[in-house]
Amino acid sequence: ADQRDQVLEQMSTLTDVNTAFDDLGRATVRLGGASGAVFVVGTDSGQVSFARNDDGAVQFAVTRGGEASVLSPSGGTLAGFADGAQRIASARAGLNTIASDFTAQVNAVQMQGRDLDGKAGTALFATGETATDISVALTDPRGIAAAGATGGVRDSSNLSALQAVRGSGAFETRTTNLIAGNAAALEQRKTVADAQSAIRDGAVSALAAASGVDLDSEAVDLLRFQQAYQASSRVIQTARDTLQTILDLR
**Full-model pTM:** 0.67
pLDDT at 161: 94
Q: Which residue has the higher pLDDT, 232 or 90?
A: 90
pLDDT at 243: 54
Task: Using pLDDT thresholds of 50, 70 and 90, give the confidence band for residue 83.
Answer: confident
- φ/ψ region of 19 (left if φ > 0, alpha if ψ in -120 to 50, else beta) reads beta
pLDDT at 196: 74
Contact call for residues 85 and 180 (beta carbons, < 8 A): no
Is the pLDDT at 172 greater than 80? The verdict is yes
Average pLDDT of the chain, as a whole number: 83
Q: Would you kindly state where each structural domain of the chain is located, as residue ranges? A: 1-73, 75-212, 215-250
Residue-wise pLDDT for 86-143, tens only, equals: 888 888 899 999 999 999 999 999 999 999 999 999 999 999 888 889 999 999 999 9
Distance from C-alpha of 114 to C-alpha of 42, rounded to nearest angstrom: 77
Sign of CA dihedral 104, 109, 111, 117: negative
Lowest mean pLDDT among 34-38, 108-112, 185-189, 242-246: 242-246
Distance from C-alpha of 195 to C-alpha of 206, rounded to nearest angstrom: 17
Distance from C-alpha of 152 to C-alpha of 116, rounded to nearest angstrom: 9
pLDDT at 65: 86
